[in-house]
Amino acid sequence: MSEGTLYDKVWENHRVTTLPNGQDQLFVGLHLIHEVTSPQAFGMLKERDMEVAYPELTHATVDHIVPTADQSRPFSDDAAEEMMRELEENVREAGIEFDDPTTGDQGIVHVIGPEQGITQPGKTIVCGDSHTSTHGAFGALAFGIGTSQIRDVLATGCVAMDKKDVRKIEVTGELGEHVTAKDVILTIIRRLGTEGGVGYVYEYAGEAIEALGMEGRMSICNMSIEGGARAGYVNPDETTYEWLRDTDAFADDPERFAELKPYWESIRSDADAEYDDVVTIDGSAIEPMVTWGTTPGQGVGISEPIPEPESLPEGKQETARRAQEHMRVEPGDTMAGYDVDVAFLGSCTNARLADLRDAATVVKGRQVDDSVRAMVVPGSQRVKAAAEAEGLDELFREAGFEWRGAGCSMCLGMNEDQLQGDEACASSSNRNFVGRQGSKDGRTVLMSPRMVAAAAVTGEVTDVRDLPTREVEV
Amino acid sequence: MTDGPAETVESVAGTAIPVRGNDIDTDQIIPARFMKVVTFDGLGEYAFFDQRFDDEDNQKEHPFNEERFQGANVLVVNQNFGCGSSREHAPQALQRWGIDAIVGESFAEIFAGNCLAMGIPTVTADTETVRALQDYVDKYPDTEVTVDVAAEQVHYDEQTVEVVVDDGQRMALVEGIWDTTALMKSNSDAVAETAASLPYVDSE
């Protein structure tokens, strides 16, 4: 078992007791809720005549079903409107803070927590959403939970969990030009597999991780679950503290910052911490990555050939054959030149200000290809406003992108932003599962925001390194 | 099943249905468009919907459509079943379709946790054992299959195979202590103490 890691320390600090079923009861420092997975939990709570135990540690937003074109009420989709009303009623009754679209603070749950500074090192953070692992970028212990567990947290302020093993993933060296955090995590998942992380929490470390900004660290932790790991984290450092200093939580309260910093420092993994497993990846060897299949583990470097199914481990061959048929790709080819119909720049993985700026350097001075429907869906209303203040909206619009409101949007197609028929989408999101983007024949190619931008302007999957980029003045 | 006092789940008996393939994700088990609901009621009919129906709602080839598997309550799957999102809608849809236990090569973590919270055992066995069971019930769909959680065995016809049930899961199901809300609610004083010990929690 691991010892002296951030995971061990945060776990121990939050452990209330060991339950008769052998699980540990962990106190939850921040419970984030949204409209899709919480209504049934509130329903269960009412049936048992229980109240929300810690409303002040609970924070709500609306993201999955919210329209990104016209957010005026009532929403045009009746089902979406009903879910919104249910959430409004639940948070009002319980006294939970809710960032609805009228506040200017609404956005994807994994974007708003970090931007408001309620995501902090050394907290336990849960949400009924598998991408809750995102918050681990700050050195929080953050994981997705199901609806019955949401009921647990609402009723008790705690979650029952088994302790996992810790795998340290050390990404050494310096990332190449145009190689981003997204390419790092797609490489990790390809190498360790979509189920390689089951039973583990991932600690991301090494020069290449330390050199990343918070947005990049969030992209990596976000997709931990795509590698099977329920949580992933990066030890907090100066980069983390810099981000936190400017957030709502601390901008006007430097004393609070000074008060908490020793705690944040104390939960960092010790230099001599013991891990259950250590994996080293050469960051300098990573190139821009794209997926060729229908799981996030089915990725290749942009210049590499799509693998022959027979060359893969036996258990992965059939999935690969079916994926190649669905995607209409041939082993031996590269993904470069694969025609795309839609370019989606959004999602909790890659829709923060830094992601939009990144894509803008590629888009500037170019036009979206005639064959492509391209959209930018900022991760939050604040990201949108900040981007507009820099003129990014104009840059994207002039290039032919749609500039939309904040939400999960085409990452999972629960609002009207969906692929049609067998459209192929260059997407900065996290899942390329069949049907994920709203059409069961749709074809998703996962990639970084820069690569999405490159695909949007060329109409096909393109190595962004072949396109000269331009400075965007901000 | 998710509410009220916990029952014990020592074993589940019935007929079985095989759904083959690795990495069957929660978007396949229940497409996101069916999650625009505020209760879990009625989700059963949408289980594996896009695998079962084409664009014109015509039935496609899928075990969940086959007459011979109707009424089955033991689902037999392969590797990494339930990967992807945390949506409890996935096991809720399966349970409402009729599934009470799942035998597989491996499960995604959040999915297995959701199943446990609903009292659905997720037991594992090696590839060969699982495939043999899938082949057998494919051939003889009326076979009575018993998933014995307590003994970590699956019985079908004259055969008994060893399976693995995670220790915590086995204890929770067999002793009827999988309702963690009730378990944790009784510790509220200790919870308040833990909260007070954390520097970031404002104590009143």
Query: Which of A195, A230, A253 best tests the B interface by mutation, with the highest count of B CBs <10 A?
Result: A195
Tell me: the pLDDT tens digits for B102-152?
999 999 999 999 999 999 999 999 999 999 999 999 999 999 999 999 999
pLDDT at B203: 62
Express as a percent the part of chain A with pLDDT over 70: 100
Among residues A456, A40, A278, which one has the least CA distance to residue B35?
A40
CATH level 3 topology of B11-177: Aconitase; domain 4 (3.20.19)
Nearest-neighbour CA in chain B from A167: distance (Å): 16
Check if CATH label 3.30.499.10 holds for domain A291-466: yes
- CB-CB: which of B35, B110, B180 is closest to A230? B110
Question: Cβ(A115)–Cβ(A246) under 8 Å?
Answer: no
A7-23, pLDDT tens digit by residue? Answer: 999 999 999 999 998 99
pLDDT at B4: 44
| DSSP code at position A291 | E
Q: Which residues of B touch A82 (CB under 8 A)?
A: 38
Q: What is the pLDDT of residues A249-270, one digit of tens each?
A: 999 999 999 999 999 999 999 9
Mean predicted lDDT score pLDDT of chain A: 97
Give the integer Cα–Cα distance in Å for A278 and A275.
7
Whether A33 has a pLDDT exceeding 50, the answer reads yes
Question: What is residue B2's predicted lDDT score, i.e. its pLDDT?
Answer: 42
Average pLDDT over residues A353-378: 98
Residue B6 is predicted with a pLDDT of: 57
Would the pLDDT of A246 be above 80? yes
Categorize the per-residue pLDDT at A470 as very low, low, confident or very high, splitting at 50, 70 and 90.
confident
**pLDDT over threshold 50, residue A438:** yes
Whether residue A27 and residue B35 make contact (CB cut-off 8 A), yes or no, is no
Contact status of B29 with chain A (Cβ, < 8 Å): no
ipTM, two decimals, is: 0.93
The pTM of the full predicted model, rounded to 2 decimals, is: 0.96
Residue ranges of domains in chain B: 11-177
Query: How much of chain A exceeds pLDDT 90, in percent?
Result: 97
CA angle B100, B154, B139 (to 5 degrees): 85
Residues on chain B touching A412 (C-beta within 8 angstroms): 27, 32, 85
For residues A25-30, average pLDDT = 98
**Which residues of chain B have a pLDDT value below 70?**
1-6, 203-204
Minimal Cα–Cα distance from A142 to chain B, Å?
13
What type of residue sits at position B147?
Answer: V
- Side chain identity at A111, as an amino acid letter? V
Best CA proximity match to A264, nearest among A276, A277, A249? A249
Handedness of CA A420, A425, A430, A434 (dihedral sign): positive
Q: Tens digits of per-residue pLDDT, A77-130?
A: 999 999 999 999 999 999 999 999 999 999 999 999 999 999 999 999 999 999
Environment class of residue A272 by beta-carbon count within 10 Å: exposed (0-12), middle (13-18) or buried (19+)?
exposed
Instruction: Tell me where in chain A the CATH 3.30.499.10 domain(s) lie.
Output: 6-266, 291-466
Mean pLDDT across the stretch A450-463? 98
B175 min Cα distance to partner chain A (Å): 8
State the pLDDT confidence band at A474, using cuts at 50, 70 and 90: low
Question: A with B: how many residue pairs have Cβ under 8 Å apart?
Answer: 219
Contacts of A140 in chain B (CB under 8 A): none
A148 → closest Cβ in B114, B166, B167: B114
Question: Does A435 sit within 8 Å of B28, measured CB to CB?
Answer: yes
Q: What is the second-level CATH architecture of the domain A6-266?
A: 2-Layer Sandwich (3.30)
